[in-house]
Structure 1
Amino acid sequence: MELLEQYLQFKQEADQGENKKNKTKKEKDPMKPKQPVSAFFLFSNERRAALLAENKNVLEVAKIAGEEWKNMTEKQKGPYEKIAKKNKEKYMQEMEAYKQNKDEEAMNLKKEEEELMKFQKQEALQLLKKKEKTENIIKKTKEQRQKKQQQNVDPNKPKKPASSFLLFSKETRQSLVHENPGINSSTLTAMISVKWKELNQEEKQIWNCKAAEAMGAYKKELEEYNKSVAAAT
Structure 2
Amino acid sequence: MLGAKWKTVSAEEKRPYEEKYHAEREVYLQVMAKERRETEAMKLLEEEQKNKTALELLEQYIQYKQETEKETKKNKKEKDPLKPKHPMSAYFLFTNDRRPALLAENKKVLEVSKITAEEWKNMTEKQKKPYEEIAKKNKEKYMHEMEAYKQKKDEEAANLMKEEEEHVKLQKQEAMQLLKKKEKTENLIKKTKKNNQKKKQSKEDKNSDPNKPKRPASSFILFSKDSRKTLQEQRPGVSTSTLNALISLKWKELSEEERKFWNGKASEAMEAYKNELEKYNEFIAATATQESNIDE
For normalisation by structure 1, the TM-score amounts to 0.54
Q: 1:146 aligns with which of 191, 197, 206?
A: 197
Q: 1:34 aligns with which of 85, 91, 94?
A: 85
Q: 1:45 aligns with which of 96, 99, 114?
A: 96
Q: Which residue does 2:119 correspond to in 1?
A: 68
CA shift, 1:158, in A, is 6.5
CA distance in 2, matches of 1:152, 1:115: 55
Q: How does 1:53-64 map to 2 (within 5 A)?
A: 53-64=104-115
Q: Which residue does 1:87 correspond to in 2?
A: 138
CA distance in 2, matches of 1:91, 1:154: 91
CA shift, 1:100, in A, is 0.8
CA shift, 1:184, in A, is 6.2
Label 1:55 to 1:150 Cα distance change in 2 as closer, same or farther (>3 A): same
Letter in 1 for 2:264: T
Q: 3-state SS of the aligned residue for 2:98?
A: helix
Per-residue CA deviation, residues 133-167 of structure 1 (Å, 9 max, x unaligned), is 33322222222222233445583x466xx8xxx9x
Q: Which residue does 1:187 correspond to in 2?
A: 264
CA distance in 2, matches of 1:125, 1:95: 45
Per-residue CA deviation, residues 83-122 of structure 1 (Å, 9 max, x unaligned), is 3223222212211111011110111111112212222232
Letter in 1 for 2:193: K
Q: 3-state SS of the aligned residue for 2:141?
A: helix
CA shift, 1:35, in A, is 0.2
CA distance in 2, matches of 1:133, 1:76: 86
CA distance in 2, matches of 1:116, 1:133: 25
List alignment gaps of at least 5 residues for structure 1: 1-21, 167-182, 195-206, 222-233
CA distance in 2, matches of 1:69, 1:154: 111
Q: 3-state SS of the aligned residue for 2:184?
A: helix
Per-residue CA deviation, residues 58-105 of structure 1 (Å, 9 max, x unaligned), is 332122112222333344333323332232222122111110111101
Label 1:117 to 1:154 Cα distance change in 2 as closer, same or farther (>3 A): closer
CA shift, 1:34, in A, is 0.7
Q: How many residue pairs are counted as aligned between the two chains?
A: 172
Letter in 1 for 2:84: P
Q: How does 1:197-212 map to 2 (within 5 A)?
A: none
Q: Which residue does 1:9 correspond to in 2?
A: none
Label 1:216 to 1:94 Cα distance change in 2 as closer, same or farther (>3 A): farther
Label 1:185 to 1:75 Cα distance change in 2 as closer, same or farther (>3 A): closer
Q: 2:171 aligns with which of 120, 126, 136?
A: 120
Label 1:193 to 1:79 Cα distance change in 2 as closer, same or farther (>3 A): same
CA distance in 2, matches of 1:158, 1:152: 9
Q: Which residue does 2:184 correspond to in 1?
A: 133
Letter in 2 for 1:121: K
Give the structure, 1 or 2, with the largest relative contact order (CA under 8 Å, sep 6 or more): 2
Label 1:88 to 1:119 Cα distance change in 2 as closer, same or farther (>3 A): same
Q: 3-state SS of the aligned residue for 2:134?
A: helix
CA shift, 1:211, in A, is 5.9
Root mean square deviation, CA, Å: 4.3
For normalisation by structure 2, the TM-score amounts to 0.45
Q: 3-state SS of the aligned residue for 2:81?
A: coil
Query: Which structure has the bigger radius of gyration?
Result: 1
Identical aligned residues as a percent: 63
Label 1:185 to 1:72 Cα distance change in 2 as closer, same or farther (>3 A): closer
Q: Which residue does 1:104 correspond to in 2?
A: 155
